[in-house]
């Protein structure tokens, strides 16, 4: 009788110890994870500050350059005109030319059965957006889709089987032209094009990418601002 | 030997082995944790030091910019030096490129995904920006990142990058999207097209407040490979 009770007691104590150990182990793991989460967040904050510092350094350098021009006796009107030309360039308000890449996306020409989903065979706005994002992230200096230069206000919307690009209706095919470093642009596209190659194979969607030595992109549109005014506080 | 007793002893033996293994694992883990904690503390201290330094650098650069702007403005505003028309043109074009900081009536959107399971996804964020554009927003900013000519929102691993800057936090993000435009129209679009979808599907709460907003500028890179043909 005693032996049986003793045995049960030993098992109970052992299980209790196992339970405590497991709990402790779990706590140790979760603490380690919390530490690494905290560190990753700190890295994220650091990157944000670094970007901010880089931006300010560039801005300050431009102001120093401008000041140097004035101090060397440059005509303020001339400097202002140079600033205006640059402002137009970076706002995509001047036509540009240069090397880059051309991507053509086209709706599938395969006949669609009643049982099939027609959406599988047409180009969607997300496809174009994905490509545009990849190209901007690769440092492209200008993008045009079917001859519409992309600016801050440009957008792409699906309208059934056609697309609304910058306020104008555009049917397939969609030609995206981007000026920039050919190698970097091709590299960025290689990162996203597995999807396009797959739908091209499965649904017959047209996808073509080529490098081009001389692309010409038109100027973008300048909108009329009704609400936003330049801040008196500065940046 | 009694079969029952043999079974009990075997079981006890098994439990003792498991216990031994667990204690040994725990001991090893604890040793590792102590070592790693030291390394991790050193790393955290170094990182935190770097963050403080970079933050101080940002503050110093902001101060320098303020002084530089004051000086440059003196030259720019010399009587007869720069026509007000050119200055206005530069400022207005800068609204489009993102290089001019702007003020105006607009809305402030807040989405907090720190207390929900499903984080805000990059395509949802893209949809918000797109909806604001469609509603006629003239200027947009996401967590301090101004949407300019060559802005982009992409996924990079588990991070959402806006203009290349990582915005997401591991334990959730407090999203702040600001837009200048017709307050009522912007508000309606967000409340009709975005809010129900995000709340219903993801349990994400969105707050939209109409207010006067100030949006910072974003510096654009000069064209280096593209040649202007005008």
Distance from CA of A93 to the nearest CA of B (A): 9
Task: Please report, rounded to a whole number, the percentage of residues in chain B having pLDDT higher than 90.
Answer: 32
Q: Sign of the CA dihedral B167, B171, B172, B174?
A: negative
Could you give the CA distance from residue A29 to residue A56 in angstroms, rounded to a whole number? 41
Residues 6+ apart with CB under 8 A from B158: B168, B170
The 3-state DSSP class for residue B155 equals: strand
- Name the band, by pLDDT with cuts 50, 70 and 90, for residue B112: confident
Number of helical (H) and strand (E) elements in chain B, helices listed first: 5, 9
Q: Is A33 on the interface with B (CB under 8 A)?
A: no
- pLDDT tens for A90-147 read 999 999 999 999 999 999 998 888 888 888 899 999 999 999 999 999 999 999 999 9
Q: What is the ipTM of this complex?
A: 0.76
For residue A81, the chain B residues in CB contact (below 8 A) are 86
Q: Give residue A228's pLDDT band: very low, low, confident or very high (50, 70, 90).
A: very high
A117-130 tens-digit pLDDT: 888 899 999 999 99
- If pLDDT is split at 50, 70 and 90, which confidence band does B31 have? confident
Q: Does B61 contact A227 at a Cβ distance shorter than 8 Å?
A: no
List chain A residues with CB under 8 Å of B167: 44
The whole-number average pLDDT for the span B35-56 is 86
Tell me, yes or no, if the pTM score tops 0.80: no
Taking residues B128-147, what's their average pLDDT? 93
Higher pLDDT, A34 or A211: A211
A217 or B19, greater pLDDT: A217
Residue B207's φ and ψ, nearest 5 degrees, are -115, 135
Which candidate in B42, B150, B158 is best for mutational testing of the A interface (most A CBs within 10 A)?
B150
Segment holding A142, helix H or strand E: strand A142-145
């Amino acid at each position: 009788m005693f032996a049986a009770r003793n045995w049960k007691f030993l098992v109970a104590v052992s299980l209790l110890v196992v339970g405590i150990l497991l709990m402790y182990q779990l706590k140790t793991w979760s603490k380690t994870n919390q530490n690494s989460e905290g560190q990753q967040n700190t890295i994220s904050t650091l990157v944000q500050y670094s970007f901010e510092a880089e931006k300010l350094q560039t801005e300050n350098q431009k102001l120093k350059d401008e000041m140097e021009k004035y101090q060397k006796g440059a005509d303020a009107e001339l400097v202002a005109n140079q600033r205006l030309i640059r402002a137009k360039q970076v706002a995509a308000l001047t036509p540009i030319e240069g090397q880059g890449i051309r991507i053509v996306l086209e709706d599938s020409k395969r006949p669609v059965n009643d049982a099939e989903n027609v959406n599988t065979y047409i180009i969607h706005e997300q496809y174009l957006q994905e490509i545009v994002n990849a190209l901007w992230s690769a440092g492209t200096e200008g993008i045009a889709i079917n001859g519409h230069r992309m600016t801050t206000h440009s957008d792409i919307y699906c309208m059934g089987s056609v697309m609304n690009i910058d306020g104008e209706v555009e049917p397939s095919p969609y030609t995206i032209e981007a000026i920039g470093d050919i190698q970097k642009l091709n590299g960025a596209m290689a990162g996203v094009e597995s999807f396009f190659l797959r739908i091209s194979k499965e649904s017959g969607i047209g996808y073509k990418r080529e490098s081009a030595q001389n692309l010409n992109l038109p100027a973008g549109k300048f909108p009329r601002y009704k609400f936003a005014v330049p801040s008196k506080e500065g940046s | 030997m009694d079969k029952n007793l043999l079974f009990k002893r075997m079981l006890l033996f098994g439990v003792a082995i498991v216990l031994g293994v667990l204690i040994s694992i725990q001991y090893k883990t604890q040793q590792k944790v102590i070592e790693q904690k030291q390394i991790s503390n050193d790393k955290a201290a170094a990182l935190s030091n770097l963050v403080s330094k970079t933050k101080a650098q940002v503050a110093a650069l902001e101060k320098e910019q303020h002084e530089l702007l004051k000086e440059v403005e003196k030259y720019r505003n010399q009587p007869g030096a720069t026509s007000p028309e050119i200055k206005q043109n530069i400022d207005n074009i800068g609204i489009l490129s993102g290089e001019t900081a702007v003020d105006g009536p607009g809305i402030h959107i807040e989405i907090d995904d720190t207390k929900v399971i499903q984080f805000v996804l990059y395509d949802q964020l893209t949809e918000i920006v797109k909806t604001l554009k469609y509603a006629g927003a003239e200027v947009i900013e996401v967590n301090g990142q101004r949407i300019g000519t060559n802005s982009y929102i992409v996924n990079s691993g588990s991070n959402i990058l806006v203009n290349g800057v990582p915005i997401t936090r591991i334990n959730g993000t407090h999203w702040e999207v600001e837009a200048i435009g017709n307050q009522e129209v912007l508000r309606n679009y967000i409340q009709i097209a975005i809010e129900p979808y995000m709340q219903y599907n993801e349990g994400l709460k969105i707050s939209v407040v109409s207010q006067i907003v100030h949006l910072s500028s974003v510096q654009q890179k000069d064209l280096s490979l593209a040649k202007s043909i005008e």
